[in-house]
Amino acid sequence: MIKLSGVTRKFGRTVALRDVNLKVNEGEFLAVTGESGSGKTTLLQIMAGIDKPTEGKVTVAGTDLTDLSENDLAVFRRRNIGFVFQFFHLIPELTVVENVELPMELVRSRWDKTMKLTKTISFRGVSYRTYPQVVELLDLVGIKNQYFNRLPDELSGGEQQRVAIARALANNPMILLADQPTENLDPKTGLKIAKLFEKVHRELGKTLVIATHSRDIISLASRVVGLEHGQLFERR
Amino acid sequence: MTKTGFILSLARRSLFRRSLKSSLVVISIAVGTGFLVALDIVLTISVLLESYVSPFLLICSAGMLFSGGSLIYALVWSSVKEDRFNIAVLKTVGCTKRQILSVFLLQGLALGFTGALVGVTFGYNLLVQYGAYHWYKGFWTEGRVYSPFSSLIFLGVICYALVISYFPASVGTETSIRDLLGRQAPRNRVFLKNLELRNPLIGYSLRHIMRNQRDYATLLASVALPMFVFVFSNIFYHSAPLLQSLESYVIARLALIAAVSSGAICILGFYSLWSDICRKRRAEFAVLKTLGFSRKQVLLSTVVESALLLGGSFVSAWVFSLAAIVVIPLPTGFSIWVSVISRSLMFSMLLLLILLYIAVSEPLKAMQITVSKALDRIFIEEEW
């Protein structure tokens, strides 16, 4: 699914990644561990096509990312990659439902018959029509109905991260990448989010790559790799 | 440090940190006040100038004072938003609402005082300098320029600045400590009822405008009002040589001052407010890119917002200027009007082009930094 061969990423003099070779199979749940500054975030961003390697080749879902232009990368990300951030980064002006809808709107064609505005949600006297897929996703990640029409800053951290996971899954991508998704949450909520990732992996069969320090996620992962000073090694 | 000293230093720092906005406020208020004083002088020596001079002075001064007011609002509102952690700390250590309010009211007071002081001096000189006072009751005299209401205008402008700064400041003092310490700045919780616009670009920009009403309303006022004064005074400037009266020289000079100052305030005001908005949305742009928005789409969604704002202010500036011109009986014929209007249109289009350039270049600048840097928490909080 994801193949990195000889990937090196330099920022000026500092080397974030040094000759990384990694192959992630389809349906695998991979945890990437390592100290802060060891290159985890850079590795994930290279996989997502947000960042480009200085040297080496990246192939994701059969597409060679190294040759794509910035525009093509954006189009590639829409369908193939879901990204979850450490600090959630929901769009503060959009409600929960609209946040999940946004990536769907990006890829929806006008003639798509499977996307129909059949679900109506109402909140504080305002009703809003949305796609059943949005409601299904929010149900899957465990967001209660009364939160659907709220702005992100009215939710707790754990709930925001759930919405962020739903947003990452919006276009049914094959690959879900998460950059320290539980590090900004308390241990109990962190465990719940870890279990949610495991559920997504089990029920939807997504390929999951999570950069983390969390023992919960590491114990749930099917494979663990470590990063030290930009060099990759297998841990389990 | 005493409590008063602390409040004073907070207010001073806040003003100097936003030096571009503060100086724009002072210029705008000063020109507005100056025109008001000039109007007072003209009314006192009533036969001095033709009948259309006093409406011109009144409209220009009102436009400049209101645009100064909207800039004061924008300045105090951004200082409330950016200093919300400071407000929370002040509240936690036991400052009363009145003390916190005074930090922001002091800013309004300082700006209003400086603007009014410069304005009254400027107003006295406005007519003297251009020789208007020589023309008195049909004779060339050395009559004194005299404005009986100048002290009243001075006080009125200061009160006006204070009242304007009270509204955004009260939002800051009324917000609870919990909300002030939240991750997001206080924002309008306004929902678009049944907005079925699902286009990711236009629907998204419209929601953005509707849910940040306060920011965009001040931006609109700070662009539309000086633009109105710009168009209005342009029409006067271009029609002045055709008036064939001895005052055309004075009119041209007054119109030139109004046009140059309002044009500068329009451009710099838009630049400072729009770059603020774009800088704060850097993280959002990065998130949109990760979701699969192309660079062009992110840019387009911001351009939709600014195009709505600029287009709206351009059209309203012209509509109001033409309405004002119709009311004032300017002695000219049809063919002359065509040339006057076309020349003014050309200048206002030039202004609009400069504004459009800023509207595109600022989001581009905000998108230049890499995704990882834009999403770095420490970086974002430094920006606050």
Q: Is the separation of the CB atoms in B82 and B183 below 8 Å? A: no
Which tens digits make up the pLDDT trace of B171-203?
A: 888 877 777 776 555 455 555 455 666 777 888
* Alpha carbon of A10: minimum distance to chain B alpha carbons (Å): 14
Residues of chain B contacting residue A78, judged by C-beta atoms under 8 Å apart: 291-292
Q: How confident is the model over B306-354, as pLDDT tens digits?
A: 999 999 999 999 999 988 887 776 666 777 788 888 999 999 999 999 9
What is the structure's pLDDT at A71? 87
CA B82 to chain centre: 19
- Residue B136 gets which letter from DSSP? E
ipTM entry: 0.86
Please check the confidence at residue B283 and state whether its pLDDT lies above 90: no
Distance from CA of A66 to the nearest CA of B (A): 17
DSSP-derived pairing of the beta strands A29-33 and A63-64: unpaired
What three-state secondary structure class fits B293? coil
Place B381 in a pLDDT band, splitting at 50, 70 and 90: very low
Q: Out of A128-132, B51-55, B342-346, which region has the weakest mean confidence (pLDDT)?
A: B51-55
Q: Which residues of chain A are within 8 Å of residue B292 when distances are taken between CB atoms?
A: 74-79, 103, 106-107
Lowest mean pLDDT among A171-185, B1-15, B82-96, B369-383: B369-383
**Portion of chain A with pLDDT greater than 70, in percent:** 98
Q: Quick: pLDDT tens for A36-52.
A: 888 888 899 999 988 88
* CA-wise closest residue to B129 among B140, B117, B121, B118: B121
Q: Which residues pair with A24 in a beta bridge?
A: A2
- Stretch B22-33: mean pLDDT: 94
Task: Locate the domains of chain B by residue range.
Answer: 1-186, 193-384
Chains A, B: CB pairs < 8 Å: 92
pLDDT, tens digit, 9 for 90 and up, residues B237-282: 888 777 666 667 778 888 999 999 999 999 999 999 999 889 888 8
Residues A137-141: what's their mean pLDDT? 91
The pLDDT value given to residue B179: 73
Q: Taking 90 as the threshold, does the pLDDT of residue B369 lie above it?
A: no
Kindly provide the b/e burial profile for residues A35-69, where b requires at least 16 CB atoms within 10 angstroms of the residue's own CB: eeebbbbbbbbbbbbbbbbeebebebbeeebeebe
Test the B interface: residue of A43, A71, A91, A105 with most B CBs within 10 Å: A91
Average pLDDT of the residues in B363-382? 72
CB contact (8 A) between residue A94 and residue B191: no
What's the residue count for chain A?
Answer: 236
Contacts of A181 in chain B (CB under 8 A): none
- Least CB-CB distance to A74: which of B203, B293, B370? B293
Q: Which residue of A has its CA nearest to B280?
A: A92
Answer yes or no: are the C-beta atoms of B38 and B131 closer than 8 Å: no
Q: Is the Cβ pair B189, A151 closer than 8 Å? A: yes
A68 touches chain B (CB under 8 A): no
Task: Name the pLDDT band for A145 (thresholds 50, 70, 90).
Answer: confident
Instruction: Give the pLDDT of residue B230.
Output: 96
A51 touches chain B (CB under 8 A): yes
Q: Yes or no: say if B33 and B117 are a contact pair by the CB < 8 Å rule.
A: no
Does the structure show a pLDDT above 60 at A3? Answer: yes
**Looking at the complex, does the CB of residue A38 fall below 8 Å from at least one CB of chain B?**
no
**In the prediction, which pLDDT does B363 show?**
92
Look at residue A79 and tell me whether its pLDDT is greater than 90: no
Indicate if the pLDDT at residue B367 is higher than 60.
yes
B383 pLDDT higher than 50: no
Q: Which of B184, B296, B371 sits opposite A45 (nearest CB)?
A: B371
CB contact under 8 Å between B294 and A51, yes or no, is: no
Select the more confidently predicted residue: A168 or B2: A168
- How far does the CA of residue A140 sit from the closest CA of chain B (Å)? 20
**What is the pLDDT, as a whole number, of residue A164?**
94
Query: In chain A, which residues have their Cβ closer than 8 Å to the Cβ of B200?
Result: 102, 105-106
From A82, which residue of chain B is nearest by alpha-carbon distance?
B291
Nearest to B182 among A93, A101, A153 (CB): A153
The rounded distance, in Å, linking the Cα atoms of B164 and A153 is 29
Distance from CA of B375 to the nearest CA of A (A): 8
CB neighbour list of residue B345: distance below 8 Å, 6 or more residues apart: none
B199: chain A residues, CB-CB within 8 Å = 105
Nearest to B290 among A83, A87, A151 (CB): A83
- pLDDT band of B50, cuts 50, 70, 90: low
**pLDDT value of residue B182:** 65
State chain B's mean pLDDT as an integer: 83
Closest CA to A96 of A174, A164, A169, A32: A164
Give me the pLDDT at residue B92, please: 84
Under the banding of pLDDT at 50, 70 and 90, the label for residue B113 is very high
CATH of A2-234, one of 3.40.50.720, 1.10.340.30, 3.40.50.300, 3.30.2010.10: 3.40.50.300
Is A167 in Cβ contact with B204 (below 8 Å)?
no
Chain A residues whose CB is inside 8 A of the B194 CB are 126-129
Say yes or no for a CB contact (<8 Å) between B375 and A102.
no
Least confident of A187-191, B46-50, B255-259: B46-50
Burial (CB count <10 Å: 0-12, 13-18, 19+), residue B192: middle
For B32-147, strand residue ranges (E) read 135-136, 139-140
According to the model, what pLDDT value does residue B140 have?
45
pLDDT at res. B220: 93
Shortest Cα distance, chain A CAs vs residue B77, angstroms: 18
Show residues of chain A in contact with B296, CB under 8 Å.
71
Looking at beta carbons, which residues of chain A come within 8 Å of B283? 89
Instruction: Please give, one letter per residue, the 3-state secondary structure of chain A.
Output: CEEEEEEEEEECCEEEEEEEEEEECCCCEEEEECCCCCCHHHHHHHHHCCCCCCEEEEEECCEEHHHCCHHHHHHHHHHHEEEECCCCCCCCCCCHHHHHHHHHHHHCCCCCCCCCCCEEEEECCEEEEECHHHHHHHHHHCCCHHHCCCCHHHCCHHHHHHHHHHHHCCCCCCEEEEECCCCCCCHHHHHHHHHHHHHHHHHHCCEEEEECCCHHHHHHCCEEEEEECCEEEECC
Residues 147-186 of A with CB under 8 A from B: 149, 151-153, 167
Reported for A73-77, long-range contacts at CB under 8 A and 24+ positions apart, including other chains, are: A73/A49, A74/B289, A74/B292, A74/B293, A74/B294, A74/B295, A74/B297, A75/B292, A75/B294, A76/A49, A76/B292, A77/A48, A77/A49, A77/A50, A77/B290, A77/B291, A77/B292
